[in-house]
Amino acid sequence: MSTWANLGLQDSASPLMEQLIFFHDHALLILVMITVLVGYLMFMLFFNNYINRFLLHGQLIEMIWTILPAIILLFIAFPSLRLLYLLDEINEPSVTLKSIGHQWYWSYEYSDFNNVEFDSYMIPTNEIANDGFRLLDVDNRIVLPMNSQIRILVTAADVIHSWTIPALGVKVDGTPGRLNQTNFFINRPGLFYGQCSEICGANHSFMPIVIESVPVNYFIKSISNNLNS
Ligand code: CUA
């Protein structure tokens, strides 16, 4: 999760988020190089006394500064497209979770397991535990197995919401009347926090998401306890 003064991306907990961070760093490096070069050239213009009285055109330099930026853009466009298709690829998921956005809470359904369903509300500040996270913890967490492909189906019951977990590189809109799909693979155990990121009304900030990533046998235990109760 994000902590104080954490201005960059969160540490990745999935291979796709890892790729997203690599792409971010790659694009940022290109951006810095362009900014430094252009900044240097603009700065140096102030100290330039040369005047070319006969300069009307320069075919060569025009060619260079047209084609070079186009080539640089390709170095961003191709990795970007690769990631876009990688994010969309569904790879034989072993668990499917359906999450439904409401004003203002999420409800979940494990369609593979006798349709176990539950609501997940934020814990209000005055009821939070001493080790809890304000505005981020929920009463019912999503339990998911780590090291497994997980498919998420997202929809909403009233207005548009967005199911977003930064550490997993997941962000899908939940839209009434539509069923959106995404997938991820959690590669370590732990708690992963997310928030709705579509302005959905007065309490938009108060519908967090918490995933509890556990080993597969723990997940089976947890889900069978839910089936029996
Ligand atoms: Cu739901 Cu913002």
The CA distance from 214 to 116, in Å, is 18
Domain range spanning residue 66?
15-88
Count CA within 13 A, CB hemisphere, residue 134: 4
Percent of the chain whose predicted confidence (pLDDT) is above 90:
86
Count CA within 13 A, CB hemisphere, residue 206: 10
pLDDT band at residue 196 using 50, 70 and 90 as cut-offs? very high
> 126: CA distance to ligand 1 center in Å?
22
Write the CATH number for 136.
2.60.40.420
Model pLDDT for residues 142-158, shown as the tens digit of each residue: 999 999 999 999 999 99
Count CA within 13 A, CB hemisphere, residue 117: 8
Closest CA to 186 of 163, 165, 162: 165
Terminal Cα distance for the chain, rounded: 31
Q: Which of 36, 66, 88 is the last residue of a domain?
A: 88
The CA distance from 6 to 182, in Å, is 27
Strand-pair category, 142-145 with 209-214: parallel
119 and 50 in a common domain: no
Question: Is any atom of ligand 1 closer than 6 Å to the C-beta of 137?
Answer: no
Give strand pairing partners of 213. 144, 190
Does 220 map to a domain?
yes
Strand-pair category, 149-156 with 95-102: parallel
Question: Is any atom of ligand 1 closer than 6 Å to the C-beta of 194?
Answer: no
Q: Which of 66, 88, 110 is the last residue of a domain?
A: 88
178 and 130 in a common domain: yes
164 and 217 in a common domain: yes
Does 3 map to a domain?
no
Provide CB contacts within 8 A for 228, sequence distance 6+.
Answer: none
Does 6 map to a domain?
no
179 and 111 in a common domain: yes
Give the three-state DSSP class for 61: helix
Does 169 map to a domain?
yes
Model pLDDT for residues 128-184, shown as the tens digit of each residue: 999 999 999 999 999 999 999 999 999 999 999 999 999 999 999 999 999 999 999
138 and 40 in a common domain: no
Protein residue with least CA distance to atom 1, ligand 1 = 161
